[in-house]
Every structure is written in C-alpha cells, then in structure tokens.
Structure 1
Amino acid sequence: MDVLLLSRLQFAFTIMFHYLFPPLTIGISIVLVHLGFMRLIRPKDRIYEQAAKFWTKIFGLNFALGVVTGIVMEFEFGTNWAAYSRYVGDVFGSALAAEGIFAFFLESGFLAVLLFGWERVGVKTHFFATVMVAIGGIFSSVWIVIANSWQQTPTGFEIREYEIHGQTFTRAEITDFWGMVFNPSTVDSLVHVWLGAFILGAFFVMSISAWYLLKNRHVEFAKRSFTGALILATVSSLLQLVSGHSQATLVAEHQPAKLAAMEGLYETQARAPLSLFGWPDGEERRTKFAVEVPGMLSVLLHGDPEAEVRGLDELEADYGKPPVWMTFQAYHLMVGIGMLFIASTVLASYYRMRGTLYEKRWLLWFFVFAVFPAFVANEAGWVTAEVGRQPWVVYPTMVDGALQGGLRTSDGLSEVVTAEQVLGSIVMFALIYALLFVLWIVILNGKIQHGPEPIAGAPPDPGDHLLEAASARVDHAGSLTEAKVGDEADR
C-alpha cells in the first residue's frame, strides 16, 4: 500500500464531505438576509417571518455539520502532512488563525441570536444578527480561500533554511503580508467560490420550495422562497460564466500545465481548440472522441484565433505530469452543469415574468432534483483546482526560466505515518461520516416534511386549506361510520 496515495485519498474524502456544507450555509445565509430585509420593510406581511424561521432552522442544521466535519482536516495537517505544515505553517497558520478569530467567532456568536432570538430581540436586532452571520460565513471563506490561493500562486514570502538536530528544513516565511493576502489568484478565486455558494444555496431553497408547490403544500411560503432564490440563482449563474473565464485566463498564466490538463491539450499548437467533451488518453497522448471548437481556446485566452497555446509536451519537463483525465472530466462536468443552470434559470425567470412559472410542473420537477448537480458542480470545481495542480501541493513560480518556491505533494508527507494507520483512519472516517450523512438526511427530511410553522396573521395558504378540508372529510366520514356501527349494535 502506498502511504502517499492513501493520505491523498483520505484528505480528499474528508474535505469533499466537509465541502457539502460551507457553500450551502453561505448560500442560505444570503437568502436569510433577503427574507430578514423583507420582514423589516413589510412588517404586516407575516409570510416573510414564517419563511425566515423555516430556513433558519435548515441553516442551523447545515452549520452544525460543517463545523463538525471541518475540525478533522486540521488534525490531518499534523498527522499526515507534517512536512507540508512545517513548510507552509507561517502562511497557512496566520490565515487559519485570522479565520478563527475574526470570522468564525463573529458567525457563531451572532448565530445564537439568529436561532434563539425570535421572541427575545426586536426585528431590527434580529436582522442585524442575520447580516452578521452572513458576513461571518463569507469572511470565513475569505481566509480559507486566501490560504488555498496562496498555494496556487504563492507571493509575499521567501524560503529560509533551518537546521534541527542535524537535519536541514526549508520553510516559507511571510515577507509581505498583504502581498500574501492579495496573491494573483485571491480575488478571482473568492468571487468564483462565492458565486458557487450562492448558486448552491439558491438551488437548495428552490428544490424544497418546488417540492412544496408540486405537492400543493405551503404554497404562498414556497412561492416567496422560490422567487427570491430564483433571482439569486439567475444572477449568480450568469456572473459565474464571467468569473469562470477570468479564472481560466489566470490559470493559463500562472499554472499552464493545469490549464493544458483541463483542456486535454497534449501538444503545443496555434489555433488551439476548445474541447466540449472527450476522453483523454495518456498513452496515446490525445483526447479521444473529442468534440472541439477550432481556435476557440486561443481566442478565449489570447483574443486571437491564431495564438499559440502551450501543451503538456512542452510543460511537463518543468511542471511534471498532472492527472489529465480526472482534471479534464471534473472541469468539463463543472462547466456543463454551469451552462445547464444558466439555461434553466433564465427560462424559469422568463416564465415568471409571464406569470406562468408555477404552471410548468416539468420545470418545477427539474428544480426539485437540480440541487444534486449543484452539489456536484461545487465538488467538481474543487477537484479541478486541487488535482490539476499535482504533483505540487504548493505550486512553483517561474522566475527567469527556473521554477522557485514550490513543494511537491510527496515531499509534504509526514515521515512517520504508515499506510496501515492511514487505511485504518479512512475506514473509521467512512463509518463516522456515513452515520453523519444518514443523520443529516433524516433530520433534514423531518424538517422538510413538517414544513414551516404557521404564523398568526399570515395569509391563508390554499394548499394547507385543501389538506385540512380533506382531513375534515375523512374525520367526518369516519364519525358517520362509527355512528352507523353503533346504531346497528344497539338494534
């Protein structure tokens, strides 16, 4: 068993499970801010209070799972990746400390007011707490993305050597804090991550709301929730297309081997094609079954269809061999889902403007299940970013024709960890995370089945009225049957 491979699999598994929750909570927090604002400016319309209470409960559940699953990774830095932690500790440690002190405490502190302050604080104070929770979640993502983007495009540091017990170690130490914070990929990565989170949160809300509409339950609540989430999803999906192009341009400049892997470009060529889909074959050094747009990659990257784009044949000698197949498929899966979301949200917005959206049951069923590809797109984006930079855990910088400042993944592994230990922990984490996942689904399903709490003063819900009427008919029929049986028994 290969301890490096197992350690990479362990970290990938734990972080991908954890990454189900932070984007979701960030996205839902934006929906909560919208509902809180509408509750503030329309105090007589109690449906917004009903919606805010329901989605706050959903937010709290996902926030708890995100905290629990996020703790594990910090321990893995010490158990499996001690050499990596020693190398990036000055940079990564400062970012994580800032995240804990300035962001997590802000978010978790006001979360208590958000969850339990409904009858204890005023509407304005509660809205302020909602905003602070949303800012805390976004601010938390800022420091995490800064730490990760620095590993993609490191700046503001220098490499220093230390000798401990006769062994020489290298360490990246900050020389320019703001240079480290605003490294070349920070802003683009932040925007891309935020938009992905907004899309996921919006599709999550639309999924549950569409299900209520199809079942004719909590109709007014579902319409209000769906409408707000649809606006957020439409705007974010369109902006994500712009952000994605900016990201790809940045990758081409600073991580050219990753860009070549994303596009399955094995050979340097002018009029480089843009691959829509295909099957990269590392042995034959070509992408099989490729559907391509000739010259489009050159246009997107350089604005010139005749421009040359460097391929892996030229880049592998310096940057190593990235896992092309996985990077290519994850990237194209993410892009494909993004284009699907643009088409579906624009179409739904069109129907909404015409007043026929809620008559399109086929489209509502699409949104019920569209939350699953929203999760997949976020995970695929992470796979593209992290797998595509291999074999580097800290990507090197090309200076005067030579790579500087990089750390290979194999060099970041702990010296004493064994394959048996890592395998055992993978099995243990799989069991624990399986239980957490089942618990999450059971609790989430229970909250969805129960639905929002009725609010005094809220407009009557047609769907709920019909359900109550049907229930009353059943009870009345049952009472008549019991009366007849009683009469016959008396006779």
Structure 2
Amino acid sequence: MDVEVLSRIQFAFTVAFHYIYPPLSIGLGLLLVIMEGMYLKTGRKIYEDATRFWIKIFALIFGIGVATGIIMEFEFGTNWATYSKYVGDIFGSALAAEGIFAFALESGFLGILIFGWNRVSSRVHFFSTIMVFLGSLFSAIWIVVANSWQQTPAGYHIVGEGMNARAEITDFWAMVFNPSSVDRLTHVWIGAFLSGAFLVLSVNAYYILRKRHLEIARPSFKLALIVATACSLLQLVAGHHSADGVAKNQPAKLAAIEGHYDTLAMADMFLLGYVNNKTQEVSGLKIPGGLSFLIHGNFNDPVKGLKAFPEDERPKQINAIFQFYHIMVACGMAMIALTVFAVWQWRRNRLFETKWLLWLFVFAVLLPQVANQAGWFAAEMGRQPWVVYGLLKTSDALSKTVTANQVLFSLIMFTIVYLLLLVLFLYLLNRKIKHGPVSDHAKEELEEGSKRNNPIMQQ
C-alpha cells in the first residue's frame, strides 16, 4: 500500500478509537446533571448514590478519551503537513477555541466533580457538574465546526499559489456557521446523548436482571429511558435535516450513500442492498422514488447522480459508503423501536418483568456506538477524493517526506498501544460495574454486620 492509503487507515483507526469516548462522556454528563438535579429536587439519597457511581465511570472515560485524542494532533504534522499548512489558520482557530473555551472549562471543574463531595456545598457541586457537561458540549462544537468547514467551506479566501496556497479566515462567524455545521453538530450531540443513555440503560438492566442495587437501578433505568426515547426520536428529525444539507451542499456524497448513478432518473431509497461499482447497479430492498420524495417532495423528480461528476471528483468506495450509511440508519431505527416499546411496557407496568427486553438493553449499548462510527465513516469516505471539499484533494494533502514504511510502523505501534488501552478500559469498567453503586447507608450496614460477625471488632 502507498503512503496515502496507509495514512488514511492510520488516521481513521486513531480517530475511530478516540471517538468511542467523547460521545460517552458527553452523554453521561447529561445523565449526571439529571441525576444530581433529581437529588437536589427530591432529597432522595438514591439519586446521590447513582450520581457518585456514574461520576467514577465518567472519570475513567474522560481520562482514556484525553489520552487517545492527543495522538491525532501529532498526525496532522507528521502525515498531513500540506493539509495542516493549507487549513492551519482555520483549523487552528477552532482547536484553540476548543482548548480555551471548552477543555479548560471541563477540566477545571472536573476536580470538584470527582473530589468535591463533602468538601463543597451540594449546590456548588451541582454547578460543577453542569460546567463539566457544558465544557464537553463546547468541545464538540469546535471540533464539529472544524470538520464541517472541511465539508462545506465558508468565510475564507485563498492566499498564495501551488504549494504555498493556504486558506485564511475572512469572516469568523461565517466559518463557524458554515452551511453544514449546525445540522452536523445537532446530529453529533444527539448521538452522544444516546451513547451515554444506552450505557446507563445497559448497566442498570444488568443489575435488575441480577436483582442487585434495585433501589438505585430501577429509577436510574427510567431516567435513562426517557432520555434515550426522546433523543432517538429527535435523531430521526436531525438526521433528515443533515441529509437535506448533504443533498444541497455535497450532492456527490448523497449519490454515493444511496448508490445513485443515473442523473436523469428518479432516485430510489434502499433499505438494504449491495452496490456494484463496476456495473453501476444496486440490488436490494428499496422504496421506488423514495430518495426523490425525501429531497423534492415527490416520487418522480430526478436526483443528481454520480455520473454527473467527473470520475476523479467522485468517491471510489461506493459500496462501503452505502453500507456504513445504512448501518447507521438501521441502528437508529432499532433504538427507536427498542425505546418506544420499553416506554409502552412501562405504561403497562411490565417494564421490569419483561426479561428478554432487559437483556436486549444490556447488549444495546453497542447500538449508538456502531451508529456513531458508521455515520462518521460514511461522512468522511463520502467526502473523498477531497479532504477540503472542492478545494484540496486528499492525495495533495500528504506530507512529502514521510515514507510508507514509516507510516506502517507507526500504525502497528498505535494498534498495539490502543488495544492495550482498550483492554485496560474494559477491565476497569467491568470492575466498577461489578462493584456497583453502594450507598452510604449500605456501607454502614455492611460495617455493622462485620462488627457483629468479628469477635475482635466486638471487643
């Protein structure tokens, strides 16, 4: 493989691994705010115990997320030096804003969130929880803004020529509110909320099935179910708005995710299928004219197809883009079906008696993770061959002095280190989940029981 392919694989691997953790921390941050808010409102200790438990898991996720995110910034300089020079003014501004306005806020209050129990008032601690959550939201804003600018550039001009060309900001707010940033940010936020909610659902479903920590697991499950249901339905709306933006601003990507080649024909919407790029045909289950209806409001109007674009300006891996996009949609629909059915069971007072449903929730923690990863792959692969849409091709963005062997060696090393980090993360997460949320009252009861059963302690 050449330098371009290896560099793309390396960056995709490191970003995909890192992207496991930020959505979890954002989504879990929302649940922490809700749980601690419920504790302050009701005074019920179970919500405090639940908050304390999930803060420990939040800290673990946050730490691994920071460690895995640092690598990517170095890759910009090592593998993508031309790209870094070209977008440095824009990308650098967004990353600087993320560090100043988001990471500093999040990390600054994180210490109070973790260690502030019994050291600050309950209201100050709750304020710290909110600030950490807002910091994670602000962090997502600037990262998504930077990435969205690559998808739909705005508020810039190009200075220099050839190898010395670079983009400079002419309108900061036009750059921030580029044509895709708001839709994509909403889509990312909701995906993150789903990641956190389904993690809480999974763990508490496990406790309920094992009849452990029921006094905490049941109300926590219900809170997370409300968040998951609302967000899964909102994601349907947000995803549709995002797709409308893609149709308007990146028609080649839209054609790729639906395997649509013929510009003069109405566009079918495939529920599942396979794209043969050689024959330019798609086979599978489809709604005739479905894509035309979503874009134009009727089933007959044509949608711009891949044949309308020069071969060197259209994505190459059409089937992969098609499959990733449809995996994301399938996961989204599965989350809607699962949560809506669970709410129905709740209304019938059968939520915690339906064991097969609880087992589904135990494993459904993977659904938002798979959806987030598949959606990101579809978005980034669909942008190809551009790294900055319409301005800079990926093949021109590479570092000129890095060799394929160097990239391959670093990819192998990253793989080993990241696998070790994953094993460590899963081990620590499993350990915390098995320990569970033990309340102060439960601790006192355990200590009293130990004293009664221990003759030395009795003396």
Under TM normalisation by the shorter chain, which class is it? over 0.9
For residue 238 of structure 2, what is the aligned residue in structure 1?
Answer: 243
For residue 35 of structure 2, what is the aligned residue in structure 1?
Answer: 35
Alignment of 1:182-197 (within 5 A): 182-197=177-192
Deviation per CA, 1:327-386: give whole Å up to 9, x if none. 100000000010011011000011112211000000000000001122111100110110
Structure 1 ranges of 4+ moved more than 4 A: 457-460
For residue 123 of structure 1, what is the aligned residue in structure 2?
Answer: 122
Deviation per CA, 1:100-153: give whole Å up to 9, x if none. 011000000000000000010111000000000000000000000000000000
1:384 aligns with 2:387: no
Distance 2:132 2:152 in 1: 30
What secondary structure does 2:106 align onto? helix
Distance 1:266 1:152 in 2: 21
The alpha-carbon deviation at position 308 of structure 1 amounts to 1.0
Distance 2:253 2:211 in 1: 48
What secondary structure does 2:309 align onto? helix
Segment of structure 1 superposing worse, 177-186 or 372-381: 372-381
Distance 1:311 1:458 in 2: 64
Partner of residue 357 from structure 2, selected from 337, 357, 363: 363
* Contact persistence 2:315–2:382 (CA under 8 A): no
Residue 436 of structure 2 aligns with an amino acid whose one-letter code is: G
Distance 1:279 1:457 in 2: 55
What secondary structure does 2:20 align onto? coil
In percent, how many aligned pairs have the same letter? 56
For residue 77 of structure 1, what is the aligned residue in structure 2?
Answer: 76
For residue 440 of structure 1, what is the aligned residue in structure 2?
Answer: 425
1:68 aligns with 2:67: yes
What secondary structure does 1:308 align onto? coil
For residue 218 of structure 1, what is the aligned residue in structure 2?
Answer: 213
Partner of residue 415 from structure 1, selected from 400, 404, 422: 400
Residue 15 of structure 2 aligns with an amino acid whose one-letter code is: I
For residue 487 of structure 1, what is the aligned residue in structure 2?
Answer: none
Partner of residue 247 from structure 2, selected from 231, 249, 252: 252
* Contact persistence 2:335–2:367 (CA under 8 A): no
Q: Assess, with a 3 A threshold, how the Cα gap between structure 1 residues 116 and 459 changes in structure 2: closer, same or farther.
A: closer
What secondary structure does 1:277 align onto? strand
Q: Assess, with a 3 A threshold, how the Cα gap between structure 1 residues 340 and 458 changes in structure 2: closer, same or farther.
A: farther
Structure showing greater Rg: 1
The alpha-carbon deviation at position 317 of structure 1 amounts to 4.6
The alpha-carbon deviation at position 316 of structure 1 amounts to 3.5
Q: Assess, with a 3 A threshold, how the Cα gap between structure 1 residues 339 and 30 changes in structure 2: closer, same or farther.
A: same
For residue 278 of structure 2, what is the aligned residue in structure 1?
Answer: 283
Deviation per CA, 1:449-475: give whole Å up to 9, x if none. 100122228999xxx9xxx99x9xxx9
For residue 481 of structure 1, what is the aligned residue in structure 2?
Answer: none
Distance 2:157 2:18 in 1: 32
Distance 2:386 2:392 in 1: 6
TM-score, normalised relative to structure 1: 0.89
Distance 1:23 1:443 in 2: 19
Distance 2:114 2:306 in 1: 52
What secondary structure does 1:264 align onto? coil
* Number of corresponding residues: 450
1:302 aligns with 2:293: no
Alignment of 1:316-395 (within 5 A): 316-317=310-311, 319-395=313-389
For residue 138 of structure 1, what is the aligned residue in structure 2?
Answer: 137
Distance 1:457 1:126 in 2: 23
What secondary structure does 1:184 align onto? coil
* Contact persistence 1:257–1:322 (CA under 8 A): no
What secondary structure does 1:359 align onto? coil
What secondary structure does 1:154 align onto? coil
Residue 113 of structure 2 aligns with an amino acid whose one-letter code is: L
Partner of residue 428 from structure 1, selected from 405, 413, 424: 413
Alignment of 1:130-209 (within 5 A): 130-161=129-160, 168-209=163-204
* Contact persistence 2:312–2:385 (CA under 8 A): no
